[in-house]
A and B are shown apart, each in its own frame.
Chain A
Amino acid sequence: MAQITTRTITPADITGPGAWWCRGCGDFGVTAAFRQVVLTLVNEMGIPLEQIFVLSGIGCSSKEPEMLRLNAYHGQHGRSIPVALGLAIANPNLVVVDFGGDGDSYAIGMEHFVHACIRNINLTLIVMNNQVYGLTKGQASPTAHLGLKTSSTPEGKKMRPVNPLRLAIAAGAAFVGRGVSWQKNELAELMHKAISTKGFSLLDVFSPCVTYHREPGFRGSGPIVDWYRQNYALDIQEAWREMRDQIFTEEERAHLPAEYDPTSPEAAISALRLIAEAAKIGREVTGLLIINESAPDMATALSVSAEKPPALADISIERNVERYRELLAELR
């Protein structure tokens, strides 16, 4: 009989044949970080490779399973979260990681995204956020910033962007964070924490589109990363240091810790204030915003046990028939 994989795995073991992204695409960084995390999960934490299950929707980012060699599901646009729910609830032993894009998760899949946070499904959603619909050639996505010129916003985007971190915090996600694709180790660390958190984890990742995301003066893969660094991303710790005087009263400031603490009970309020304050200067915060495992995850709330998951239930007629007879006797 085959055994659960116990041997040490290498990146080659979990690398698929995929070649889907443009040279310099941020998604390569996300993939490299994820492979690193899978190696840690399997080689150091002893999680069977067989129990890791990845999903994706539709879009450039959703080609992720192609870049891997893992049990996976590549589905419909915006619908990977509800499929992931089915897997996570039918068998809580699975380590479920869902990859989406900003169009996938925050536009067509928004319904599922918000309910996933509220239900606190034990899975990790990694969103490769690049402000455009890459696979359909560069239209503005829900996260595109005000004024961004794309093929669908020729005069610049006129409506305000979705702020996924704010939504996830308000909806009660257990983990809320944002990484950047060009810092692989930091991203891997965030991913590992997201996957290790019991409950719903949102890890939004700035993963720049080098082909369609155009900022005046920043064309090309190196420059667009520079734009994010210089003009857009703001680390949560830096925001904490620089903005707390503006957003907290003097009385509040007296009790504030030196560093932003994502595990503190006040983290949600602090993070929402920092996000709002950063937005005033056109910035988006990055880093680890929330870890809060106080609410039960969905499987626990529904009393689904990992020892006897519904997916592996004994459905033999012979062994259940007496209980079925009792069930039918009620319908008289």
Chain B
Amino acid sequence: MPAIQICGAGRAGDGTNTHILTLGQAFKDLGAWVFIWREEVYSNIQTRDSGFGLRAADRPIYGPDDEFDILEAFDQGALVDTTGEGRVPPIARLRPGGVLIYDSSTRLDYPNAGYEVKPDVVGDLLRSHRIRVFDLPMGQMAKQTFQSYIVRGTIALGVIAEVLSIPDEPFLSRFHRTFGDRGDLLEMNRQALTMGRSYAHEQGWQLPDMRIAFTAAAQDDRQLLLGDEAVAAGAIVAGCRFFAGYPLTPASEILEYMAEKLPHFNGVVVQADSEMAVAHHILGASVAGARSMTATSGPGFSLMQEAISASGSNETPMVIAICQRGGPGTGLPTKIGQEDLNETIFGGHGDFARIVLAASEPEEAFYVMEQVFNLAEVYQCPVFLLLDQMIAQSSYTTPALDPSHFTIDRGKLLGLEAVAQLLKGNGRYKRYQLTADGISPRVIPGTPGVTTCYINSNEHTEEGHITEEQAIRQAMVEKRVIKRMALIRKDPRLPRPRLLGPADAPIGFIGYGAVYGPILEALAQLETEGQRAKFLELRTLWPLHGREVRDFVRSCQKVYVSEHSAGAQLRGLIQREATGPMPRRLRSILRYDGRLMTPGYILSQMREA
């Protein structure tokens, strides 16, 4: 697959993120499919090492490859472990024959000051790996010419543009979008781009071996978006009009997007005083009749368990997106983990119905919001969307997202006419009326004629009043847990596992989320080696489609359950819900060092497993 992978490495707050993002946008506009990720970001605003990855290919990609073709060193952290904590600097992942472009300024400015690049310290590596080295004092050039140190990122864009023969146009159109009517910034960035290009041209730097001929569509309506943005946009299209949130990495972008957009759709965003408050805000808004949701990560999700249990008891629709990060405790705030599967499925005290869906890339994350909100209202229970840091905070190119595909199903939420009919029949509205399917009609408070909508998280009668009597307790548990889960299990709207690869392949992989892209590429790699393998991507984690998973496992000689969890939570779920122990057939590929899986990682682990 023709692809190029670039790492920009510097220090938090020095503009590396913007540089890589702009480069990725330009590649996308050239027709490439891109993946832009946080290669190395610490829970820190300015001073720590910071690196961003960009991969561009001629077809959709969903993750990083093992090695970089180009490393841009914006300071010394790109080359050495400046902290002495055992950090592996990005140079370790630069492929033999790759390219190092570095800022050769003798003095760098804050926040890079003191981390001036000295390539000699890795001289042996550069020679033995035949690394081509391009040096330019871009920090000094930016300061001298533009009195703006930060614009060195644009000079670096000019260098990349020249060595890979990329025209100015995609960069200029992105500058237009970013700076809008700020003509001075526009002009400065245009000149900086030219300066970088001219410098590279004068030095005779060229990388013909790394050029890829992308084909741009005449009308490119593909998206370039974060998973978090896909979730938020999907939620708005699905009718979410109340969002409550508390800032928490890696879910904050959902709060921020909602804060900006939701008021334009007759919606409202509440930034709450804690995640405990958040979870109860969305219950209140849901009772009021709004489709409501929140997004969080492990620490916040733990605080929400009480409200989740209440939702399970009082049958109020609830939607939570969980962007998992490395745990436990506050763990690794900015890095990958998939350790909250168990809490999502088994958290909250008591028995109650719930649904857990997953998405592996933004296109899925966008479209699944339709089902997330519909299922929450149809089954009047908590519905969780389980994501992880990689999908949440990486930018992906996806095909154009089409909102007209969505349908809205509000389940047994009664409109005015239906309420009038019901009142004529029963006389009085009962929130927990025992019905044949176990699902009771909901009403919006304020609906004419309804003054007896009593919602209760204590055990309750049909009218909602507190009770502890045996028969009604039994009936309510059966209604809310047993009948409800039986209905949910049969619902065709729960996204089924997706089989990728040849059905008769003897090697199988199972996973969801961050492992999706790397597994797909591992399959392709195995195929070139003459091994046939397939992948079962899970899109509903609770209730698990046990038969499909069991049949898949039985059709394989070996199955590698791949996940970012030391506790092998996904494998445990599969064993419990689908296969039993199967110790010989079921193997784990685990990664819990906070780093993304890659095709190479999966293949090497597979050979050891």
Contact = CB atoms under 8 A, between A and B. Distances in A.
Given A83-B287, A311-B290, A323-B264, 8 more contacts: A73-B456, A74-B454, A75-B280, A82-B281, A86-B288, A304-B268, A317-B404, A329-B221
B6 interface: no
Contacts of A314: 266
Interface of B: 220-225, 229-230, 233, 236-237, 239, 241-242, 244, 261, 263-268, 270, 272-274, 276-292, 306-307, 310, 314, 400-401, 403-404, 406-408, 416-417, 419-420, 423, 444-458, 464-466
Interface of A: 1-5, 14, 16-18, 48-53, 63, 65-66, 69-76, 79, 82-91, 93-94, 111-112, 115, 302-304, 308-317, 320-321, 323-325, 327-329, 331-332
Contacts of B450: 2, 50, 71
B285 A90 contact: yes
Contacts of B267: 310, 313
A311 B280 CA distance: 16
Q: Which A-B residue pairs are the 9 nearest by beta carbons?
A: A86-B284, A2-B449, A315-B239, A82-B280, A324-B403, A90-B288, A90-B285, A86-B285, A83-B284
B145 to A, nearest CB: 32
Nearest to A302: B268
B307 A69 contact: no
B406 A317 contact: yes
Contact of A317 (B237, B280, B454): B237
A87 B281 CA distance: 8
Contact of A115 (B225, B273, B288, B407): B273
Nearest to B222: A332
A86 B244 contact: yes
B416 A74 contact: no
Contacts of A79: 276, 280, 306-307, 310
Given A331-B223, A332-B222, A82 B272 contact: yes
Nearest to B410: A315
A63 B285 contact: no
A74 B225 CA distance: 41
B241 A89 contact: no
B529 to A, nearest CB: 37
A50 B451 contact: yes
Contacts of A86: 242, 244, 270, 280-288, 292
Given A86-B281, A331-B225, A4 B448 contact: yes
B223 A328 contact: yes
Nearest to B422: A2
A79 B310 CA distance: 10
A179 B465 CA distance: 28
A71 B442 CA distance: 12
Contact of A311 (B223, B265, B288): B288
Given A74-B466, A115-B277, A1 B284 contact: no
A85 B270 contact: yes
A83 to B, nearest CB: 4
Contacts of B407: 317
Nearest to B455: A73
Contacts of B452: 69-71
5 contacts: A74-B454, A75-B314, A82-B278, A87-B288, A328-B403
B424 to A, nearest CB: 9
A49 B446 CA distance: 8
B282 to A, nearest CB: 6
B114 to A, nearest CB: 38
Nearest to B28: A332
Given A74-B458, A321-B404, A90 B268 contact: yes
Contacts of B279: 82
Contacts of B310: 75-76, 79
Contacts of B277: 82, 85, 111-112, 115
Residue of B230, B276, B446, B466 contacting most chain A CB atoms (<10 Å):
B446
Contacts of A329: 221
B268 A89 contact: yes
A325 B277 CA distance: 33
A204 B285 CA distance: 26
Nearest to B395: A331
Given A79-B306, A332-B223, A69 B451 contact: yes
Contact of A327 (B261, B273, B451): B261
Contact of B241 (A48, A70, A313, A316): A313
A85 B287 CA distance: 11
Contacts of A48: 446, 448
Nearest to B282: A86
Contact of B466 (A51, A66, A73): A66
A57 to B, nearest CB: 10
Residue of B220, B224, B241, B267 contacting most chain A CB atoms (<10 Å):
B241
Given A18-B465, A327-B236, A83 B280 contact: yes
A303 B263 contact: yes
B307 A50 contact: no
Contact of B281 (A5, A85, A308): A85
Contacts of B222: 332
Contact of B290 (A63, A65, A313, A325): A313
Nearest to B403: A324
Nearest to A77: B306
Nearest to B428: A69
Given A74-B466, A83-B283, A331-B224, A93 B419 contact: no
Given A16-B465, A111-B273, A313-B265, A5 B236 contact: no
A96 to B, nearest CB: 9
A97 B277 CA distance: 18
A332 to B, nearest CB: 6
Contacts of B284: 73, 82-88, 90
A233 to B, nearest CB: 32
Nearest to B461: A17
B451 A49 contact: yes
A84 B282 CA distance: 10
A103 to B, nearest CB: 16
Given A51-B446, A69-B452, A87 B225 contact: no
Nearest to B229: A331
A71 B452 CA distance: 5
Contacts of B242: 86, 89-90, 310-311
B357 to A, nearest CB: 20
Given A2-B416, A83-B280, A317 B290 contact: no
A270 B329 CA distance: 46
A16 B465 CA distance: 9
B184 to A, nearest CB: 24
A182 B115 CA distance: 74
Nearest to B424: A2
A2 B281 CA distance: 29
A147 B406 CA distance: 63
Contact of B447 (A50, A69, A115): A50
Given A82-B277, A83-B284, A83-B287, A90 B449 contact: no
Contacts of A71: 445, 450-454
B278 to A, nearest CB: 8
Contacts of B241: 90, 310-311, 313, 315
A322 B553 CA distance: 44
Nearest to A328: B401
Contacts of A65: 454, 456
A138 B290 CA distance: 39
B446 A93 contact: yes
A112 B275 CA distance: 11
A316 B290 CA distance: 13
Contacts of A328: 223, 233, 400-401, 403
B55 to A, nearest CB: 18
A92 to B, nearest CB: 10
A51 B451 CA distance: 8
Given A4-B448, A90-B285, A90-B290, A320 B265 contact: yes
